[in-house]
Amino acid sequence: MTKPKVFITRRIPDAGLNLILEECDVDLWDKDLPPTKEELFQHVPGVDGILSLLSDPIDDEVIQAAGENLRVISNYAVGYNNIDIQAATQHGIAVGNTPGVLTEATADFAFALMMSAGRRIVEAERHVRAGHWKTWGPSILLGCDFAGATLGIIGFGRIGKAMARRATGFGMRILVYDPTSQPMTGVIKVDFDTLLRESDLISLHTPLTPETRHLINGEAFAKMKSNAVLVNTARGEIVDQAALYDALKNHKIFAAGIDVTDPEPLPMDSTLLELDNLIICPHIASASTSTRENMALIAAQNLLAGLRGERLPFVVNPEIYEK
């Protein structure tokens, strides 16, 4: 029997890759950098399935180029804003993602970024290496407090809730803005402006949608406290980066930590790189060894289920099964 043809846009951990290699005829893009759009066009025609990364734009053109055999796109990420879901659904193609397994690793990282930005850990480390550490001083590298602070969580899905669990241990007051999700014990649901006005720490955990693009803009920064620390481990486009630069440069807020930028990677001439009160990481919030293995397993299971004509364990467009 002929094996289904799949294109995998980057080497994923063996835990998932080996499952796929056993059952499929695999075209593996085994380079460090993602395939360009042109290269995607060259590799997708005739495939039954695509395993993509968040850096691969799987839009209508790519879906059309793949042709009528394509029945599943498995994204190695919980976010799927790189895929044209509407186009996939119109063509009856199931799209899978990897929720759940990266919740704790991402919340750990968001919390670490929040504390690092608030306590100026990266700046302090640079201070030492640059030879500026001359003595102990009462006012050297002062930061903010976490115990008893007010944390505002924007987007209260799995990762937002994991953030709240961590904040509880620090005795924080927890405010949540999320029009769709249920609150949990110990958190206060508020409107957007109240969250901006009252939070000392603000962490973003909402997906990128047309509604959340530039949700944090100049107007939002103007409502924040001057001691606020902003953390973004969701998607870069949720924050207007020109407004972020202005807010940090002019000390409208205290500091920020971002794991995601717009675009990615951040160009080396970005003015954000000039700021001492900003920590920038290269989209690594889910980057723990076991999390990335579990993401590979789920991505493989989604892909294989779609190829067998079964419902994906984690499907983002379940409406295709209603047709």
Catalytic residue annotation:
235, 264, 283
Residue 41: both structure tokens together: 């066009």
The answer to whether residues 157 and 205 touch, using CB atoms and an 8 Å cutoff, is yes
Total interface residues for ligand DGY by CB under 6 A: 6
H/E stretch holding 5 reads: strand 5-8
Considering the complex, what minimum distance in angstroms separates the CB of residue 42 from ligand DGY? Answer: 26
71-79, 85-93, 271-279, 305-313 -> range binding ligand DGY (CB under 6 A): 71-79
Neighbouring CB atoms inside 10 A of 282's CB total 11
Angle, nearest 10°, between helix axes 289-307 and 14-23? 20
Considering the complex, what minimum distance in angstroms separates the CB of residue 284 from ligand DGY? Answer: 8
72-80, 125-133, 246-254, 267-275 -> range binding ligand DGY (CB under 6 A): 72-80
Neighbouring C-alpha atoms within 13 Å toward the C-beta of 176: 26
Q: Whole-angstrom Cα distance, residue 98 to residue 22?
A: 21
Residue 123: both structure tokens together: 């700046």
Q: Name the nearest CA neighbour of 197 among 168, 164, 175.
A: 175
Q: Which of residues 108-167 bind ligand DGY (CB under 6 A)?
A: none
Q: Which residues contact 316 (CB under 8 A, 6 or more apart)?
A: 80, 85, 95, 96, 97
Q: Does 286 bind ligand DGY (CB under 6 A)?
A: yes
Q: Does 258 bind ligand DGY (CB under 6 A)?
A: no
Interface residue with ligand DGY, options 66, 78, 163, 204 (CB under 6 A): 78
74-82, 143-151, 177-185, 270-278 -> range binding ligand DGY (CB under 6 A): 74-82
The answer to whether residues 258 and 280 touch, using CB atoms and an 8 Å cutoff, is yes
Q: Between residues 78 and 247, which has the closer beta carbon with respect to ligand DGY?
A: 78
Q: Does 51 bind ligand DGY (CB under 6 A)?
A: no
Across the strands, what pairs with 204? 154, 232
Interface residue with ligand DGY, options 50, 77, 256, 296 (CB under 6 A): 77
Which residue has 């460090």 as its token pair? 32
Q: Does 224 bind ligand DGY (CB under 6 A)?
A: no
73-81, 134-142, 245-253, 267-275 -> range binding ligand DGY (CB under 6 A): 73-81
Interface residue with ligand DGY, options 16, 79, 236, 257 (CB under 6 A): 79
Q: Between residues 77 and 231, which has the closer beta carbon with respect to ligand DGY?
A: 77
Q: Between residues 248 and 298, which has the closer beta carbon with respect to ligand DGY?
A: 298
Q: Name the nearest CA neighbour of 216 among 265, 171, 206, 166.
A: 206
H/E stretch holding 176 reads: strand 173-177
Q: Does 47 bind ligand DGY (CB under 6 A)?
A: no
Binding site for ligand DGY (CB under 6 A): 54, 77-79, 102, 286
